[in-house]
Structures are given as structure tokens and as C-alpha cells.
Chain A
Amino acid sequence: MHFDLTEDRQMLADTLNRYLANQYGIEARNAAAYEAPFHDPSKWTEMVELGIAGALVPEEQGGFGGAGFDIAVVFEALGRALCPEPFLGTLLAARLLGAAGADMEALVSGETRYAVGLGEIDAAYDLDLIETAAKASGDGYVLNGRKSAVYGGQDADVLLVLAKLDGKAAIFSVEASAANVVGYGMIDGGGAAEVLLEETAATLLVEGAEAAVADAVAAGRLALCAEAVGAMEANYEILLEYLKTRKQFGRPIGSFQVLQHRTVDLLTEIEQARSITISAAASLGDEDASLKAAMAKNLVGRAARLVAEESIQMHGGIAMTWEYAASHYGKRLVMLDAQLGDTDQCLTEVMQSYAA
């Protein structure tokens, strides 16, 4: 047992952090994150060239990473910079394509941008209750249904879609141009899509896909936890700086104990969030991966909302403005809870492990 990053991962983290700080600062970020296509395709390409996509794929599948700690390093850096590039879709697709034993060259090179549709409007997290269905048609299949919250779907080339085939979970591949994709920007930046499927041609990728989907969700939750840890730390640094410099009643507001103790509580929760994310990263691919990822997403969801709300409150009016970076961190930290299973959903999953 030890707590050091490998040299390769440390280098990847340094490279990404440097690139994002220099090329994708908060102004560039806001310019990209809130205007269609809700990310910056040229930056996407540059970041793929830095190795992000490859870091999300195991070596035997053409990448050079794919382990829990590779994912954590990448998404922590993305979170620190509030990066709106749709790499969550890349990760989810990499897990599903890996389960299918499919070729990932186009994913690793960034030539093809993937997005993954799992949940639906009435089945946001209960994936066994989805209604999208597949049926055989000629040599292939067609899909009917509607997938919701397809992150990165507003600007993807290929969609991987969870649908029922003879009542069982299966993953299909759909050309984005073949589906009715309604893209939208999100309140916290970045984009997603509703995907309407009407007799849409699809290729079967994974049959009996429960395990593959569980793995993808666990990996995605880990990524969101790491992203939140990065964003929480950045937000915390902004808050600390403000507490030291903002003066009221003739002294820095950080000299008031009522704010000091609340700030320490944020630090405590951020450390706890980092720890539980390490736990989820270490377990990815193991038997208890889903449980550990659920535990992590529950704690991180609580911590992220606390950091966001307390940061806004302790800043006072300034963090209510669009102008100030902490407002954008706050939005991301609150809204990422709803992605791939929120605190309540994840707590319920942990509780289910108690039933005999």
C-alpha cells in the first residue's frame, strides 16, 4: 500500500494542468462552455494529442492507461480547470467498446468523438427500467425510443446507446447523423443531447450488457468524483484568497472565526472526497467496483454541494456574479451530482448491499 502517483501519471497530470492553465483559462473556458457547440473542437484535438484519450484506454486495447488512477488523474485536471470538453463520453465509450472487444483506434486518435446514452427521462438512473428497444431489421437492427442526458451528444460522431433487445440490456452503436439529436448547453457549461430514435439503424455491440454497463457507470462515477475533487480544490483556493484579501469592518473577513471554522470544514470534506475517490479508483475493475464507486459518488456529491454553497455564501454577493470564477465552479459542483446517479441514488445502492 502506498500513496504516490507513478512517474507517468504525474507527468500526465503536470502536462494537462499546464496546458489547461495556459490555453484554457476561465475566460476561454466560459467562451467555449456556454456557446454552441458548448466546447472547443480545436482544443479537443489538442488535448487528445496530449494523450487524454489514450490515457483512458488500456494498453492491450490500443491506449496506455485505462486503470482507475489514470482516469482519476485526467478528470481531476479537467475539473480543476472546469474544462467543458466531452471526455466523459470518451471514457464511457472506451469501457463499452472494451467490453465489446471493438477496435478503438478512432477513439484513441480522437478521429471519432463518442457519446453514450444510458438513461432516459423516466429512468434517469434505474437502467433496467429503460424503454428504448431494439429489433432485428435486415442484416442489422433498428432502435426506437428516446435517450436523455447524453453528455457530449451535441457534437458527437457516434452514439453508443443502451436499449432492450428481447427484454435484455444491450449496447448498440448509432451514427449520430442517423438519429434525431437535439443538442443543448447545460447551466454549468458543456453540452448534452436528447437523442430521438425512430427506426434508427444500429449495430449491435454488446449483448447481455449488464456487466459492461455497470463497469462503464462505475468508471464514469469515478471520473465525476475526480473531476469534482479538482474543481473543489480550485474553488477552495479562490475562497481562501478572497478571505485573506476582502476587508470588511476594517479587517480581512478571514479573521472572523465564524468563517474560519466553516472553511476548515470544507477542507476536511475535500480531503475526505479525495480519499473516497482514491478508494473508487483502486477498486475499478474489481468485484466491489460498483459499491465503491457508489460510496464515492455519495460522499463527493455531498461535499461538492457543500463547497459550492458555502463558497457562494462566504464570498457574499461577488460569487453570485457571472463575472467571478467561483460562480461557475459552484454550478458545476452542484450539477455534476445528477450525472450517472446522485447522492440519494448512490446511498440507496450502498443500503441495498445490507439486505441479506
Chain B
Amino acid sequence: MDLSYSSEERAFEAEVRDFLENNLPDHIAAAVRSGGELTGEMMQEWHRILSAKGWLATTWPEKYGGPGWTPVQRHIFEVECNRFHAPRIVPFGLAMLGPVIQKFGNDRQKAEVLPGILSAEDWWCQGYSEPGAGSDLASLKTRAERDGDDYVINGQKTWTTLGQFANKIFCLVRTKFEGKPQEGISFILVDLDTPGIEMRPIRLIEGGYEVNEVFFTDVRVPAENLVGEENQGWTIAKFLLTHERTNIAGIGVSMQALEEVKALARKTRRNGRPLIEDPLFASRVAQAEIDLEAMKITNLRMLYQAQKQGYPGPETSILKIKGTVINQELRDLARRALGPSAAPFPGAITDGNLALSPPDTANNAARYFNNRKTSIFGGSNEIQRNILTKTMLEL
């Protein structure tokens, strides 16, 4: 056991800081700092900068073009990126599809799909959930029927995050209609410019636009776009979701949120003293800080274990369950620290000359509401508990 950074790890930290200082564009950092929506161009610009450095696919093994980092190096990179207000790396190609293709894809798919993700040229989005298939994902109904060398896809996907910027989508589709629902699902890659696909925005609780509905009407997709065997999709889907979880504790984001809460609470005064010295408020901050301190180590312990055994286990569900709740608590504290100043609705201020919220905090309530999603997406925290139950109780 040793929690201190080795000299190599300290040197790596310095290298990351140096890179971020010199390569993260100011206009992007400012947008992240403000907590508002980022444009697709901003995200893509940052992806390309990381790609050029070889630091985009942080979890990929070296043989596929990843940097071959240890879990500790990934942790350092994540923390520093958040400290410098770098945008989150869009995970759908890098953290989800990439590992799937590496594990289940054939050589042609590896050669065609992986370079596009690595260079940030392709923007993948996810076609998993459906209006009738949320937590019960296996009940999905979007069908792919074989017709010659093609599959013909009909149905509807939803909650497709950042689909408005994507050029490709990976989908779970039903290829068998009898038997156990899990045994009739396939995993297929689709170009979004294929005729018959329509993407419609869903406006979210805070007013923002980040998710979409995707409609498929007689969409013809070459059969060679199938990943793995037909009807093997459920295995792939589970593999993908396990990989997603190793990146989901949100340690870097929460560390940054904690700093923000403390900074706000030092500036704001209540009952004649800084809010941070108010016992009720400070006790909530302290408890969140303690939980986060533990979570940092839980995250590293589990990533370390995953690396040792070669794959992430079901215990990584703990990272999702606890990591999201800590992050939500911190966003709640930030909102509460602002008090009534959190209320002005960005974009709905009639006199633009009058600053109603302190600078950099205008989106705080919006971020609080938006962040309620984290305990729902990627398998809700209740589904994570079901996953853990299965392994623990062996019932």
C-alpha cells in the first residue's frame, strides 16, 4: 500500500499540467468553467488536440493506439483535466464502442472503426434505450430483418446523447422474436446519413439540448456491420456497460465541484460570517468531502484490481452508485450556496446589462438539475444494485 505518487507519477502529473496549460484553448476552458452548453465544434476541437498528442483514447491498450497508461496515470489525467476546465471526453466511441470492437470486432471492423475514433474524425453515438425499454433494456423492439446482404432496421431509439453532432451510431436491435428476449439481440453499426434515419431533439429539464430521439424507417445497413455473432448482442451490451462504469465515478468532476462549493461559500456571507463557517452548511460540505476522499481511493482500488485481473468486475457498480450521489450532493451544495442568486434562468434575462448572478455561477441551478441524470443513465443506480445483488447473493 502506498498512496503517494512515485517520482515517475509526479513527472507525469507535471507533463499533463504543462500540456494543458499550453494546449487547452482559452475559449473552451471558459465555456466549461461557466457550466453552459458546449458547442459540437468545441468538443471536436479538444478531441483533435488530444488525438494529436496521443492522449485521446486513455483506456485503450497500446496495440490499438492507446497511451498504455496505468490506472493512476488515468486518475492524474482526469483530475488535472478537470482542474484546468477541459471538456469531458465524449465517451461513446472511446470508452464504449472502442473496447467492444477490440474484443468482439473482426479484423476488418478493427481496421475501419478504430482509426476513426482515435483520430476524432468519427463521432459515434449510442442507440440503446427505447421508449418502452429503459431499465428493462432486453425488451427492446427496434427490429433488424435480414434481406439479402443487408439488414433492414425499423423502430425508435431514445436518449441518444449528443447525437446531433454524430455521424455514426451503434445500436442494439432485435434479430430474433421468439425465446428469451436477451437471446434475440444483435449489435450493429449504422451510418447516420443512411436514408430513413431521423433525429429529433429532446429538451431537458434545465432547458438544454443534449439528447435525441432517433427514428429508423426501412434503414438498409450492410450485414457486415454486425459486430460479433447475430443474437450475441446482449453479451456485448453488458460488456460495454461494465466498461462504461469504470469511467463513471466522476472523481475529477467532483473534486472540481468541491473546490467550487468551497470558493462560493467563502465569498458568500450568512449570519454575519462566511457561509463556509456556518456549522450547518460546513457540516454538509465536510461530509461530502469525506465521502469524496474515500471515493477517490475506492475508484483507484477498483481500477487497480480491474487492471490486475484484466477486466472490470461487477463491483465497479459501486463506483456508479456512490460516485454519482456524491457529485449530485456537491452540485446541490453549490446551488444552495448561491441562494436566491441561483434562480435567474440563463437565456431568460430581459436586460442583458444587469448581471443577476455572480460571474461563473449563472448555470449553477441548471447544472444541478441536469446532473440528476447521472444516477439514471448508464444503468440506473437501482439497476446497478440488481447487478451487484446477483454476484453477491448468488440467488
> Using a CB–CB distance below 8 Å, which chain A residues touch chain B?
1-6, 69, 240, 243-244, 252, 254-255, 257, 260-261, 263-265, 267-268, 271-276, 278-279, 281-282, 292, 295, 298-299, 347-348, 350-351, 354-356
Contact = CB atoms under 8 A, between A and B. Distances in A.
B286 A268 contact: no
B301 A264 contact: no
Contacts of B4: 1, 282
A356 B266 CA distance: 9
A240 B393 contact: yes
Contacts of B355: none
The main secondary structure of chain B at its interface with chain A is helix
Nearest to A283: B3
Contacts of A265: 321, 385
A331 B289 CA distance: 28
Given A3-B300, A271-B298, A347 B283 contact: yes
B5 interface: yes
B276 A354 contact: yes
B322 A264 contact: no
17 contacts: A1-B4, A1-B5, A2-B304, A3-B305, A240-B392, A240-B393, A263-B392, A264-B384, A264-B385, A275-B298, A276-B290, A295-B289, A350-B289, A351-B283, A351-B286, A354-B285, A355-B277
Question: Which of B2, B286, B289, B304 has the most C-beta atoms of chain A within 10 angstroms of its own C-beta?
Answer: B286
Contacts, number: 125
A261 B393 CA distance: 11
Contact of A261 (B289, B295, B322, B382): B382
Contacts of A274: 298, 301
B287 interface: yes
A350 B297 contact: no
Contact of B392 (A69, A267, A272, A295): A267
Interface string B271-300: 000101101001101110111011111101
A352 B384 CA distance: 36
Contacts of A356: 266, 274
Interface in B349-395: 382, 384-386, 388-389, 392-395
B195 to A, nearest CB: 44
B389 to A, nearest CB: 4
B1 A276 contact: no
Nearest to A343: B287
B9 interface: yes
Nearest to A2: B2
Contacts of A240: 392-393
B2 A261 contact: no
Contacts of B295: 272, 275
B22 interface: no
A354 B277 contact: yes
A292 B4 CA distance: 14
A345 to B, nearest CB: 12
Q: Is the interface of A mostly helix, strand, loop or mixed?
A: helix
A264 B392 contact: yes
Contact of A4 (B1, B9, B315, B386): B1
Contacts of B274: 356
A154 to B, nearest CB: 34
A131 B392 CA distance: 51
Contact of A354 (B2, B282, B386): B282
A264 B382 CA distance: 10
A290 to B, nearest CB: 14
Contacts of A299: 290-291, 294
List of 3 A-B pairs having minimum Cβ-Cβ separation, nearest first: A275-B297, A282-B3, A276-B294
Contacts of A267: 318, 388, 392
B246 to A, nearest CB: 15
A161 B3 CA distance: 34
A261 B395 contact: no
Interface in B1-47: 1-6, 9
B52 interface: no
A268 B302 CA distance: 12
A3 B308 CA distance: 11
B120 to A, nearest CB: 30
Given A260-B385, A274-B301, 9 more contacts: A1-B6, A2-B2, A3-B305, A69-B1, A263-B393, A264-B389, A273-B294, A276-B297, A347-B286
A5 B301 CA distance: 13
B168 interface: no
A207 B296 CA distance: 39
Contacts of A260: 385-386, 389, 393
B205 interface: no
B385 A272 contact: no
Contacts of B321: 264-265, 268
B48 interface: no
Nearest to B4: A1
Contact of A275 (B9, B72, B301): B301
A48 to B, nearest CB: 25
